Amino acid sequence: MSRVFAGLGIVSDAGWAKNLAPGGRVMLVSEPTAYRLFGRKVRAALKKVDVCVFLLPSGEKAKSWASVEKLLGAMLKSGLGRDSALIALGGGAVTDAAGFAASIYLRGIPWVSMPTTLLGQLDSGLGGKTGINLPEGKNLAGTFYQPAAVICDTDFLKTLPVRERVSGLAEAIKCGLTFDPALFGFIRTNWDALLAGNPAPTAHVVKVGAAWKMKIVAKDERETKGVRDFLNFGHTLGHALEKVAGFGVIRHGEAVIWGMRAALRLSVAHAGLPMAQAEEAEDFLAGIPVPEIKNLKFSALLSAASKDKKARRGRSRFVLLRAMGKPVIVSGIGPEAVLRALRSL
């Protein structure tokens, strides 16, 4: 499994880069904003290493065949070999796309995940999932390819706008509801401080959330045992909403918040979640500011959900809760029940 380095200013400790690229060449892959803010600090930590830089487009545009093809061409032109390495500096789109390129270039070279967003440090930058989007859906092409290291420098999070914090905190909320009710309670109690970027509660959430993610991944690295599916509470409909709205229109965490609200309703009806627990979680989620999607076509949403990676034989499978911290996977929920849950929102 990957080594995870977490802490304030941890990127300046060059220990994570030791022996990373014996050939002395590294490709630093980022996007314009992340590179402008943090590129110099990362390059300063890479002493005695020849650093090449490639910038992907911002946001979900990075996760396309065209973007990855350009990156692969730049890697080849820069002379990267199997004794070289790639560093992915940015949000989830950058780590997904750059990690995917590292996994297929020369059949795989070492890479480092360096997420600069709260979402990346809690979810997309961890676990070794890489991938790109296809026209039919999100993350439908990709690989399982563990980074040599994951650098979660909470100093990167100081510049995040509130909307990005909300998107990242959605993954922490998911973790709390699915595995750790104490974490969910901590988030509720410290919500205003977390939105403001207070370093202490943010560091706690990153530390606990990242530990849970890696614990689950260690049990089911390649999603063959069903354990890792539990990380997808709220994601079946969340991913579908991202697609139907248009990638980039609504952020991943915002879509997951809507997905979790629907999943709570389905959990009461199909998994035995006590109504009191569902209402406790729903009251909190309903107060989080996320965009509303107008003119939503429910038929398109259900069609997209049926193509989710967890689907079997064209039927959606939902991660639901039978109690706080006790997830279960439920299949066979008909479209009418899903529509009722969605329309009730």
Residue 196 makes CB contacts below 8 A (sequence gap 6+) with none
DSSP state of 226: S
Q: How confident is the model at residue 108 (pLDDT cuts 50, 70, 90)?
A: very high
Residue bearing the bigger pLDDT, 102 or 344: 102
Distances (CA, A) of 282 to 267, 332, 345: 12, 24, 10
The predicted structure's pLDDT at residue 236: 92
Residue 192 makes CB contacts below 8 A (sequence gap 6+) with none
Instruction: Tell me the mean pLDDT in the region 216-228.
Output: 91
Distances (CA, A) of 317 to 130, 181, 227, 260, 277: 22, 23, 14, 14, 22
* Domain match, 145 and 167 both: no
Q: What is the CATH number of the domain that holds 11?
A: 3.40.50.1970
- Is the pLDDT reported for residue 53 higher than 90? yes
- Is the pLDDT reported for residue 118 higher than 90? yes
Instruction: Tell me the mean pLDDT in the region 147-173.
Output: 94
DSSP state of 312: B
Instruction: Tell me the mean pLDDT in the region 302-318.
Output: 72
Residue 64: give the domain boundaries: 3-159
* Domain match, 12 and 33 both: yes
- Is the pLDDT reported for residue 337 higher than 70? yes
pLDDT digits (tens, 9 = 90+) for 2-33: 888 888 888 988 788 888 999 999 999 999 99
* Domain match, 188 and 291 both: yes
The predicted structure's pLDDT at residue 294: 77
* Domain match, 179 and 155 both: no
Residues in the chain: 345
* Domain match, 231 and 89 both: no
Instruction: Tell me the mean pLDDT in the region 253-262.
Output: 96
Domain endpoint, select from 114, 137, 159: 159
* Domain match, 105 and 88 both: yes
* Domain match, 256 and 304 both: yes
* Domain match, 182 and 136 both: no
* Domain match, 214 and 106 both: no
Q: How confident is the model at residue 167 (pLDDT cuts 50, 70, 90)?
A: very high
Q: What is the CATH number of the domain that holds 324?
A: 1.20.1090.10
- Is the pLDDT reported for residue 85 higher than 60? yes
* Domain match, 175 and 88 both: no
- Is the pLDDT reported for residue 71 higher than 90? yes
Number of domain units in the chain: 2
The predicted structure's pLDDT at residue 309: 62
Domain endpoint, select from 140, 159, 178: 159
Q: What percent of the chain has pLDDT over 70?
A: 97
